Structure 1
Amino acid sequence: MVDEGAAGTGGTTGAGGEPESSDSLRTFGAVVQGLREHAGLSREEFGALVRYSKHTVASVELGRRMPDAAFVERAEEALGNTGALRRAAGCLARQPGLATWFRQWARLEQVAITLYTYECRMVPGLLQTEAYARAMAVDHLPPLNDTQINERWAARADRQGLLRSQPNTAFSFIIEEHTFLRRTGGKDVTRELITHALEVAQLRNVELQIMPLVRESHTGLQGPLQLLETPENSWYAYLEGQESGQLIADRKVASVLQRRYARMRAQALPLEDSVSLLQRMRGDL
């Protein structure tokens, strides 16, 4: 089950996957909720003070979302500057299944207002089905046990909630045509995967483009790429290799990668043509 960090060498043990607990997320959220209610603030009122939506506030309070540093600092200011939230934030841990190098990026994903993904190796984790993810786990080396596979899928399924829980976030995917033609897991798995991708493509905040198999000019030949924009309009990039990932905060580098992605959007098939191609591919299975 290989993917952009969510399926790196993570798991319950090993390099990049030490044990984690989600109890800390739920405890932190309960503290936020308790302080908010003590201050007499609704989620919407509190959200206005910390500059996040009431849906984001709810996700943090329910332990479903990792708060970023900006949320913690603004929440502290709005709730009395007791220092409790800052200290509690230092103990936060995510659920198992995310590779160590990917966790910082995953935290940024939770608050991103723009998220771009180019993938040339496999269908991105945010668009995968459980059957497809489990099919990829078959050839993982070293072999994964059932617990590790289940943890990885749970982490991935949790991340996929971003597509619907953040309707104001703009998601863009550019995926190489051959990732579907490979038929990972067989025809039935691929058919389900394409159907799922087509369903996600119908969301108003999602743009899905296919990079055709035959393309004489291609700006993405240097490998997969992810970009995101924070609520403060800062841009970050994430590049991943076989056993590591690199988070890039340098503005000049991020700007170069933005330009590359923009060129790829022009080189890939338009949304309507991409949908038509996926429909034809599904019909051929």
Structure 2
Amino acid sequence: MTVVRGDADAEPGSGVETGERPDGEPGSGVMMAFGRQLKLLRLRAGLDRAEFGKLVGYAAPSIASFEQGRRIPQPAFIDKADAVLDAGGLLMVLKEELARAQYPPFFRDMARLEAEAVELCAYDTHMVKGLLQTEAYMRAVLAMRRPLLDEATIELRVAARLARQEIFSRWPAPLLSFVVEESVLRRPLGGEGVLRGQLEQLLLFGQNRNVEIQVMPLDREDNAGVDGPFTVITRKGGEQFVYTEVQGRSNLLTDRDETRLAAARYGIIRSQALTPRETLGFIEKLLGDL
């Protein structure tokens, strides 16, 4: 069995927390490539860093950090820089890879697998799956982390999660299945307004033909998910992976027997939960009660 383990959150003060990456760290290659391309385009436009910075709303030292591959640019900067420099999409093409570089090293493989998935099945017990979260819900959850995350790190994590939601518009469309415990949908993380927005987004996602969202009711006497949350990812060709994360630690399982058992367990969980149609009605009722 192959197991990859890692910390779910880097220690305060590390490169992950600030958005800075030391040379040679996995993920820095795409940052260096972006930085070189950005500098070439800026010089082609005849702009120094200060002039360019004024046009995109960033200080010259920040532009230098981007160009030298020491800081991960946010999606809004990439979009604006591409337009200002008339890059024709040369910068934007790296946006997805740069978003994945915002994660701690251990999660980048998982993010890549997620982007390649032809099928993704997730069971969650404590909070709404990151792929399904609204921006407000993301910010609320990240602000609750202990030890506290600084604002720059929260912005990086939000940008990365939003970029992952590209999976919903990808074609060919992957098959996406989510089972969530009822208690998650009743927990007002961030306040009632945040919860309302999150429930409304679940209804929208649930209307996609390739997405099935199911609720595991609290009154169920049988629940095969007692061992906790997990995600099963299937790539083209049938290769499967199982990802788990708890208390700041993560596992990525690749052993065929382990992944088959997890997939079978997920199938049982789905059969015990409300159907997707019943779930949409359930969520609508929750919204009506708020």
What is the TM-score with the length of structure 1 in the denominator?
0.72
| More moved, 257-266 vs 103-112 | 103-112
**Deviation of the 1:268 alpha carbon:** 0.6
How far apart, CA to CA, are the structure 1 residues paired with 2:172 and 2:198? 22
Is 1:95 matched with 2:101?
A: yes
The equivalent position to 1:131 in structure 2, one of 136, 160, 167, is 136
Partners of 2:99 and 2:160 within 8 A in 1: no
Partners of 1:59 and 1:65 within 8 A in 2: no
The equivalent position to 1:23 in structure 2, one of 31, 34, 42, is 31
SS of 1:175's equivalent?
Answer: strand
Q: Percent identity?
A: 33
How far apart, CA to CA, are the structure 1 residues paired with 2:234 and 2:36? 25
Structure 1 segment 1-285 matched on structure 2, within 5 A: 8-10=8-10, 13-14=13-14, 19-20=20-21, 23-24=31-32, 26=34, 62-66=93-97, 94-96=100-102, 98-285=103-290
For residues 158-198 of structure 1, give each alpha carbon's deviation from its aligned partner in whole angstroms, at most 9, with x where no partner exists: 01111112452000000111111011111111110000111
Partners of 1:13 and 1:19 within 8 A in 2: no
**Deviation of the 1:93 alpha carbon:** 8.9
**Deviation of the 1:16 alpha carbon:** 6.5
What is the TM-score with the length of structure 2 in the denominator?
0.71
**Deviation of the 1:239 alpha carbon:** 1.0
**Deviation of the 1:107 alpha carbon:** 0.9
Partners of 1:25 and 1:94 within 8 A in 2: no
**Deviation of the 1:103 alpha carbon:** 1.4
Q: What is the aligned-residue RMSD (CA, Å)? A: 3.0
Q: Per the alignment, do residues 154 and 205 of structure 1 end up closer, same or farther by CA in structure 2, a change over 3 Å counting?
A: same
Partners of 1:170 and 1:205 within 8 A in 2: yes
Consecutive unaligned residues of structure 2, counting only runs of 5 or more, are 22-27, 38-88
SS of 1:63's equivalent?
Answer: helix
Q: Per the alignment, do residues 213 and 270 of structure 1 end up closer, same or farther by CA in structure 2, a change over 3 Å counting?
A: same
For 2:146, the aligned partner's letter is L
Consecutive unaligned residues of structure 1, counting only runs of 5 or more, are 30-57, 67-91
Q: Per the alignment, do residues 198 and 11 of structure 1 end up closer, same or farther by CA in structure 2, a change over 3 Å counting?
A: farther
Q: Per the alignment, do residues 65 and 133 of structure 1 end up closer, same or farther by CA in structure 2, a change over 3 Å counting?
A: closer
Higher Cα radius of gyration: 2
For residues 14-46 of structure 1, give each alpha carbon's deviation from its aligned partner in whole angstroms, at most 9, with x where no partner exists: 3966734553575899xxxxxxxxxxxxxxxxx
Partners of 2:137 and 2:194 within 8 A in 1: yes
For 2:101, the aligned partner's letter is Q
